[in-house]
Structure 1
Amino acid sequence: MEPFILVLLTIIFSACLLLLFSGRRPANLPPGPPPLPLIGNILQVGPNPHQSFAQFAKTYGPIIYLKFGTIDTVVVSSPATAKQVLQKHDHVLSSRPHPAMSDSYAHNQISLIWQPTNSRWRTLRRICKDHMFTLHRLDSGRDLRREKLHKLRDFLDHQCLAGGGAAVNVADATFTTVLNMLSSTLFSIDFADYRSEVSEDFKGLVHGLMEVVGQPNVADYFPVLKAVDPQGLKRKTTTYVRKLFGVFEDIIEKRVKSRSDDHGGAGAGAGDLLESLLEVSRKSDSDKEFTREDILHLLMDLFVAGIDTTSTIIEWTMAELIRNPDVMTTARHELDTVIGPNKEVEESDISKLPYLQAIIKESFRLHPPGPLLVPHQAAADVDVDGYVIPTKAQVLVNIWAMGRDPGIWVDPDHFNPERFLGSKIDVKGQDFELLPFGSGRRICPGLPLAHRVAHMMVTLMIRGYDWKLPEGIEPQELNMDEKFEFSLQRATPLEAIPVKI
């Protein structure tokens, strides 16, 4: 009990100091629910903050002000205000706050996600753009991704042959597939097998890290507590990061040795992204421009953010399709009509499949993996909609609320891909009604790869299989509750039985 009392007294003392010595406060802050003394609005936000913020917006409007301990927070919940934040005032609002847990291994100073938009950040963005997500690079990896899709198909076929049909944990299957797609693209190796414990171990690392990072941290609300780490979240984060770095460092060391044994050649894995990153590091104009440390932190960003968010949206999409079998039937008909019943779908075919694209857009609308995007931070006072966003305030864009706004969408809670047929709205950051990857200079650099992977995996899972729920559960009874972590998870993992067709 004594440590808890000590933490509580420290919070109260630090908050009182802040009230006594706080500097100028802008007079025209956005409206919002009245904060409680010292702690602000912390207790008014439930376990799913995106839903709480959406409710506040119904009362106070599309831009609201909240106080979390000592931290000013502004939440925007309309396309018009999002456009001002992410486009018009992007130069002022593209910084990042530094959550206490991002301090592990100085990740906030090196990570592409958390680093400010300085010269090193621009170097990392350029490397991603020029060496990882170019059209040529993506096209060159098509055969590899097709191979992983075939392995997923073999796994589903095996489940179909199991006595009476065996249920598939769709979250695990999609995670394993996306994990192997990324690990093969980066390292020329598979990290997991559908029927081994290896994927569970690595999944435990990634999901454990995401779960810890997604928890509210009192040290973020009262920065004086960062050194104390009262909830132990930074210690847990550091443990997960150390284990992930250990995996990556072992692979890099083996690759460097292979290059040395090959007398400067590429060695094993020639042509993969690790080889490209090592070559960029070797040719850097300065030893500090792109280092081994940069590679480690970039790999962690790619694995943690890329695998979790991509596999999550595929799981949500499959849940919606199982609940709406008529939509799945229409998608199959489009595939058979446009591609042909016996012809394999290629990534280049995605542009010919408007209904499939509409399904993915509709899933992103209802279930964005990052419902609040990654937080932005104001570098200076800035006027949005006649209100002042104060310097150092964190700014959240509630794309979940925009996706369910009846003022934007007809019958917004209903899964209806037809709403996107004939519509020019896309997910690439220019249409502010639909921003699953963000917009502006902080838009997700992995968008082109995630776009291909999501469409191709959903295609494979619906084209050759029908899906039924176990134990006689009716489709409309499927639990669609959400769980807010770093990404928007299903409260209960989707389990369904594939039936070969």
Structure 2
Amino acid sequence: MVIWFLILLSIFLATTILLFFHAKNGKPPLPPGPPFIPFFGNLLWLRRSVSLQNIEPVLRSLRARYGPVITLRFGSRKSIFVADRSLAHRALVSQGATFSDRPAPVPSTQLFSADSYVISSAPYGPLWRLLRRNLIAEILHPSRVKSFSASRRWVVGVLSDHLRAQPDAPAVESFRFAMFCLLVLMCFGEKLDEEAIKKVEIAQRGFLLYASKLTVLSILPKISRLVFRNRIKTANELRQREKEVLMPLIRARIEFRKRNGDQKNDEEEEKRFLHSYVDSLLEIRIPEEGGRALTEDEMVALCTEFLNAGTDTTTTALQWIMANLVKNQEIQRRVAEEIESVVGEREIEEEEDMEKMKFLKAVILEGLRRHPPGHFVLPHAVTEESEIGGYRVPKEAVMNFMVAEMALDEEVWKEPMEFKPERFLEGGEGEGLDVTGSREIKMMPFGAGRRICPGLGLAMLHLQFFVANLVREFQWLPVEGKEVDLAEKPEFTVVMKNPLVAHIVPRTKA
């Protein structure tokens, strides 16, 4: 009883002091939230819901009580969650310069980011602009993307062979391997054999999936680093293993460039090697640090970011879309008919054909609306005290935007839980949707504003191209007596709790 009395007294005193200071300085209050204990925050109240994914059901219930802007406290750190699309637009687009920073790194993020020398974690400023501009100009520019068209056709062949060889295996394994084939080629400029790609995949996935065990390090960092030192040790070992796999590929690229210089390669080497992301990283110099080149650790972190961002999110989205096509055979039939009407017997051409496949694009958009790979964007931080929805946002507060909740807003989407691609066609509530959210946010699977995912265009191309080829090549049928389960499970992305298993029949035999 004494302990509970002290807890309640602490809450009362903290609340009284906060109200006193707000009344005194006339500032708007912080967004509302559940009771908290000084230094410990909402931890006791939240129990096990520490990570963003686990906390989502809690936030839904809090929204009904407190509204679309909520404050939670993780230790002494304030996190503000926004579930309203209009407020998200105001913060990320209208006030983009103020809301585009990243929170100060904590131990869990430092292991990923080589002290913030990656695009996703770099503070809003010159380094972030340099790294982002390099990625967009050297790899994501339309001319560069087009140069990988033959590679995409090669990967489609790899994927088709895998599906034929393992028709009863969960499709996501084949999807992920195919995306690794493509992203490894784009990153390192070389077609690797299956064994080498598997090594990269295992190293990447091992560290990525272990990351969820590191979120606890964000709470009272000085204490948690001691309590959970074995987790830090394991994470460092996984990181080292990842470096041991990736650095030989980076060094091979360095040797290739030294060997060839500006000379024209022979025909076989031209087929094997392409301009890569690593090529661009080797050219980077950081003006603010005396024009130095990137270190090995920084290059590994950037390559890791490139592979994870392009593989896991696309693989997750692809599995959700194909699961809905298995579940909704009429929608799959319409996609197949559209593909046949556009391409006939010839190969699918990316830009020209994708532009004509309106229903296919609607299916992709509906998949991203209903099942965004990430239910939150990466946390933002504000560079100066601001205001949102009538509430105060302190300088350096951590801002989180609830992507999945915005895409289920009944004010925008009719029957939001249903999978209806027609909503993105003429006359639908999603007609003419701007997926960047620059004019208005109706859904934001790629984020919005200055920190929007730079690979948005590439991701949309990959999803359209792979879905088109998968539906053209195979008929995707439900396994007899087994319904497709759309239950979710949080990992690095939000994946299917029970991975998709379908009865796959080649179209020529269907």
1:389–1:139 distance in 2 versus 1, CA, 3 Å:
same
C-alpha distance after superposition, 1:432-471 (max 9, x if no partner): 1111111111111111211111111111111221123345
C-alpha distance after superposition, 1:327-379 (max 9, x if no partner): 11111111112232x12222112121111111111111111111111111122
Please, which moves more after superposition, 102-111 or 489-498?
102-111
Q: Look up the match of 1:4.
A: none
CA distance in 1, matches of 2:399, 2:487: 26
Q: What displacement does 1:426 show?
A: 3.3
Structure 2 residue 443 is the aligned partner of structure 1 residue 434: yes
Q: How does 1:22-171 map to 2 (within 5 A)?
A: 28-36=29-37, 38-42=39-43, 43-44=45-46, 46=49, 48-97=54-103, 98-104=105-111, 107-159=114-166, 166-171=167-172
Q: 1:105 touches 1:238 (CA, 8 Å); kept in 2?
A: no
Q: 1:149 touches 1:460 (CA, 8 Å); kept in 2?
A: yes
Structure 2 residue 372 is the aligned partner of structure 1 residue 361: no
C-alpha distance after superposition, 1:15-52 (max 9, x if no partner): 99xx8xx9988650112233356533334374632333
CA distance in 2, matches of 1:167, 1:414: 28
The sequence identity of aligned pairs, in percent, is 27
Aligned mate of 2:250, from 219, 234, 252: 252
CA distance in 1, matches of 2:424, 2:155: 29
Q: How does 1:192-203 map to 2 (within 5 A)?
A: 193=194, 201-203=199-201
Q: Look up the match of 1:9.
A: none
Aligned mate of 1:458, from 453, 467, 471: 467
Q: Look up the match of 1:413.
A: 417
Q: What displacement does 1:115 show?
A: 1.0
Q: CA RMSD in A?
A: 2.9
CA distance in 1, matches of 2:467, 2:385: 44
What one-letter code is carried by the residue in structure 1 that aligns with 2:304? Answer: M
- Secondary structure of the structure 1 residue equivalent to 2:140: coil
What one-letter code is carried by the residue in structure 1 that aligns with 2:280? Answer: L
1:275–1:380 distance in 2 versus 1, CA, 3 Å:
closer
Unaligned runs of 5+ in 1: 1-11, 160-165
Structure 2 residue 433 is the aligned partner of structure 1 residue 425: yes
CA distance in 2, matches of 1:275, 1:488: 29
Aligned mate of 1:204, from 202, 205, 223: 202
CA distance in 1, matches of 2:276, 2:185: 9
CA distance in 1, matches of 2:377, 2:38: 28
- Secondary structure of the structure 2 residue equivalent to 1:91: coil
Q: What displacement does 1:233 show?
A: 3.8
- Secondary structure of the structure 2 residue equivalent to 1:406: coil
CA distance in 2, matches of 1:171, 1:33: 39
Structure 2 residue 397 is the aligned partner of structure 1 residue 389: no
CA distance in 1, matches of 2:125, 2:28: 31
> TM-score, with normalisation over the residues of structure 2?
0.85
- Secondary structure of the structure 2 residue equivalent to 1:131: helix
Q: 1:64 touches 1:75 (CA, 8 Å); kept in 2?
A: yes
Q: Look up the match of 1:472.
A: 481
Structure 2 residue 330 is the aligned partner of structure 1 residue 331: no
C-alpha distance after superposition, 1:106-125 (max 9, x if no partner): 62321111110121111101
1:276–1:199 distance in 2 versus 1, CA, 3 Å:
closer
1:278–1:71 distance in 2 versus 1, CA, 3 Å:
closer
Q: 2:187 touches 2:306 (CA, 8 Å); kept in 1?
A: no
Please, which moves more after superposition, 233-242 or 244-253?
233-242
What one-letter code is carried by the residue in structure 2 that aligns with 1:487? Answer: T
Structure 2 residue 279 is the aligned partner of structure 1 residue 276: yes
